[in-house]
Amino acid sequence: MKRLLIILIIPAIAFLGSCKRNNNVEPDTVKTMNNLIVPPDFDWKTTQTLEVEVVLPTKGDIQPLLITNRDGSVKYFRGFPDDGSRTVRTKITIPDYIIDLRFIYNGTNGPNIAYIGGSTVTYNFNNTLKSTNDDDCDLSGYITYSKGGWGQKAAGNNVGQLRDDHFDQVYPGDFVVGSGYTLTFNATGDVENFLPDGGSPAALGQSYINPDGKGKNKLGNNMADQITAARLNRDYNAAGYLGTNTAGVPLGELVFIGGPFANTTVNDFLTQAEAALGGGDMQGLSASEWASAAETIIDSFHEGVNGDVLTCPTDPEEDDPYIEVSSDCLSNEVVFTISNTGDGDMTSAYDYTVTKNNVEIAAGEYELDVNQNLELIYTGLTTDEFIIVVETPRGEDQQETITGCGDPEPPINPPTEQFDGTLAYEDLWPGKGDYDFNDLVIDYTFDISKDNQENVESIEATFAIKAYGASLHNGFAFTLPNVDPSDIVSVTGYDIASSSVFNIASNGVESGQSKATIVVFDDVRRVMPQTTGGIGVNTQEEYDFIQPVTMTININFVEDAVTYNDLDIGTFNPFIIVNSVIDGSPGIRGLEIHLPYYEPSDLMDDSYFGTQDDASQPSIGKYFVTENNLPWAINIADDFDWVIEFQDITGAYLHFGEWAESGGNNYADWYKDFSGYRTNSLIYSVPSGK
């Protein structure tokens, strides 16, 4: 709580805001939170929860399925079918900016990639398309830009200036997108007015001339604006104004790596995509999948960084296979990949062997067409050494060695799933705060152990208190909304001193709750004492940094009581309890602050709803938002660098406002540390080495 000090520093805030410049965003275009026009149904989530259904290969013993991001660096799921079939059905919650998933299964060709279209993703290993992953090609010099970049007002050397400088050369007539129904842009300023448009993806139902993407009558079609931005990247590259590849291969001639458009060139994809947009053949794909595929082109070489989305086409005049071997660590899993990156198919099978600590654990044969991979998965610890030896068509053996994967020693309940992020709160509900979202900043990580039938055995939940800019004494708790309190055997690791405010049952959950609710701590100022001056801890850089406090909660479940799919960890409901301690004495329990649209616990005092600035309507499931749909808390899907005291988050994170006003369709990665995304002077800087 910071009411008194805000009056004293407002002039300094205004002065700093007026002086700050950024190459990509004009200062006068950054709105404050109170000036945002947010869609009334926007839920403020930075994550997406997906229903995933994967049909495993029909032959062989059932192996664990891995679901990762495109490059395999982040694992979202490892598990088995939970019904005895060969189909894995599960829920996963991932960052909202992720547009495709990779599926890894022992002994299958890959990478097996599917685009995310809506909230359901399906994949069938028995209908695998030939993948493309030709590493023997020159991918230097390519550059692509986002739809938000193409929609910038021209300034300095930004993308808007590039668009303006060469629009008439790239498009001597009008810029037309679509086939059948079309979008027609007469001038560069019309593109600026359209991008980014956002909204729900859909095929066009009519043609538009200079459609509006930023005003009250905006088109609101995410399929249209993604394909438009993909066209701009392709067209400006083809005209010689965007990126220069040393081998002379235009962006439009590169081909997709994996997914429904594997081996399809950018040029051919855009022809098909514009036909689909204009009301033509959707080829069995949803509008969301078309939009996601177009977005992969936009992201393929974002600001010059290769996103492993596109690669070179094969050379039809060459027919020589070439084998490469690589390895990756995914938690306790080692993934070996054998790739044919040459220009021809293999005509016979060759051998491979795998050893673990010098003991052979696998042997087999492989025969790969051009651009196919074979992926092999093994489980191990940091002390294990894995070696694969691969016989190649050139009469040589390739060897790959990897160590250091997994845990240093076998845990009692090895974690098989992980879910993490950062929570940031304002604590003056039901009154508005200053929207710096630093009254409590807390990282969370859930390590979830389960058996081979997908039953949850235990959860190790780790919470790191990073900062708090509040003078109030607040507690922190979370609810597992799909778990009954009786499904839990024990909870340990919480820190509660005020037993008169919090009544904890014998199994460690809070009493009086119909859903399993766990209080992590009752007073942040007690568990992380303020030892410096200022308002709180680690929100004002003129005071010493205090090392974050980490707490670990261990939750043991009743055997076979909750499956991982039922747990649906992405729905966990974290909240703070305000004024749990008042003037050194036990305070109150009923004042909770949750994420927007998340239900309060059974012990919430409902009389607060609808008072001051709160516009909650429990009868329709609307909670913890203002009349203008502004929140008191946000859950960030990745690491989050929090804002310093009294600074509106929109000034620190320059695309936060556009993300909110687009209903989450634009700049879903607003919290990333990319060029033009943030004002570093308004973000707390953790001292080096801390």
Q: How far apart, in Å, are the Cα atoms of 319 and each of 316, 323, 345? A: 7, 13, 7
CA Rg, the chain, in Å? 27
Burial class (CB in 10 A: 0-12, 13-18, 19+), 629: buried
Handedness of CA 192, 198, 204, 205 (dihedral sign): negative
Quick one: DSSP state of residue 207? -
Task: Give the whole-angstrom CA distance, residue 558 versus residue 547.
Answer: 36
DSSP symbols for 190-202: HHHHHSS--S---
Q: Side by side, which strands form the sheet with 333-340? A: 108-110, 373-379, 333-340, 323-330
Close Cβ partners of 599 (under 8 Å, ≥ 6 residues apart): 481, 573, 621, 623
Please measure the distance between the N-terminal and C-terminal CA atoms of the chain and give it in whole angstroms: 26
φ/ψ (deg, to 5) at 434: -100, 5
**384 pLDDT higher than 60:** yes
Task: Give the whole-angstrom CA distance, residue 566 versus residue 450.
Answer: 12
Which H/E stretch holds residue 105?
strand 100-105
Name the residue with tokens 């943030």: 678
Two structure tokens written together for 251: 């962006």
**495 pLDDT higher than 70:** yes
Predicted local distance difference test score (pLDDT) of residue 415: 58
Handedness of CA 237, 242, 245, 246 (dihedral sign): positive
Which H/E stretch holds residue 288?
helix 287-299
Amino acid at 117: G
- Residues 195/222, Cβ–Cβ less than 8 Å: no
Amino acid at 430: P
Task: Give the whole-angstrom CA distance, residue 627 versus residue 233.
Answer: 40
Please report which confidence band the pLDDT of residue 19 belongs to, taking 50, 70 and 90 as the band edges: very low
Handedness of CA 260, 264, 270, 272 (dihedral sign): negative
Q: Side by side, which strands form the sheet with 100-105? A: 75-79, 65-68, 100-105, 112-115
Predicted local distance difference test score (pLDDT) of residue 117: 79
Please report which confidence band the pLDDT of residue 403 belongs to, taking 50, 70 and 90 as the band edges: very high
- Residues 219/197, Cβ–Cβ less than 8 Å: yes
pLDDT in tens, 67-99: 999 888 889 999 999 888 999 999 999 999 998
Share of the chain above pLDDT 70, in %: 92
Name the residue with tokens 């790969």: 368
Convert 455-468 into a string of H (helix), E (strand) and C (coil): EEEEEEEEEEEEEE
Predicted local distance difference test score (pLDDT) of residue 12: 31
Section 665-686 average pLDDT: 92
pTM of structure: 0.81
Please report which confidence band the pLDDT of residue 432 belongs to, taking 50, 70 and 90 as the band edges: very high
Section 95-112 average pLDDT: 89
Nearest to 593 by CA among 441, 428, 481, 347: 428
Handedness of CA 11, 16, 19, 20 (dihedral sign): negative
Mean pLDDT over the full length of the chain: 89
Predicted local distance difference test score (pLDDT) of residue 5: 33
Nearest to 115 by CA among 243, 299, 388: 299
Task: Give the whole-angstrom CA distance, residue 450 versus residue 466.
Answer: 29
Amino acid at 663: G
Predicted local distance difference test score (pLDDT) of residue 565: 94
Handedness of CA 464, 468, 474, 479 (dihedral sign): negative
Predicted local distance difference test score (pLDDT) of residue 319: 62
Predicted local distance difference test score (pLDDT) of residue 15: 27
- The region of weakest confidence among 225-229, 346-350, 621-625 is 346-350
Q: What angle do CA 622, 438, 604 make, to 5 degrees?
A: 40
Task: Give the whole-angstrom CA distance, residue 415 versus residue 77.
Answer: 11
**28 pLDDT higher than 80:** no
Section 16-40 average pLDDT: 59
pLDDT in tens, 186-214: 999 999 999 988 888 999 999 999 998 87
φ/ψ (deg, to 5) at 291: -65, -40
**363 pLDDT higher than 60:** yes
Q: Helix or strand or coil: residue 19? A: helix
Task: Give the whole-angstrom CA distance, residue 447 versus residue 247.
Answer: 46
Task: Give the whole-angstrom CA distance, residue 41 versus residue 45.
Answer: 11
| Count of residues in the chain | 690
Predicted local distance difference test score (pLDDT) of residue 128: 54
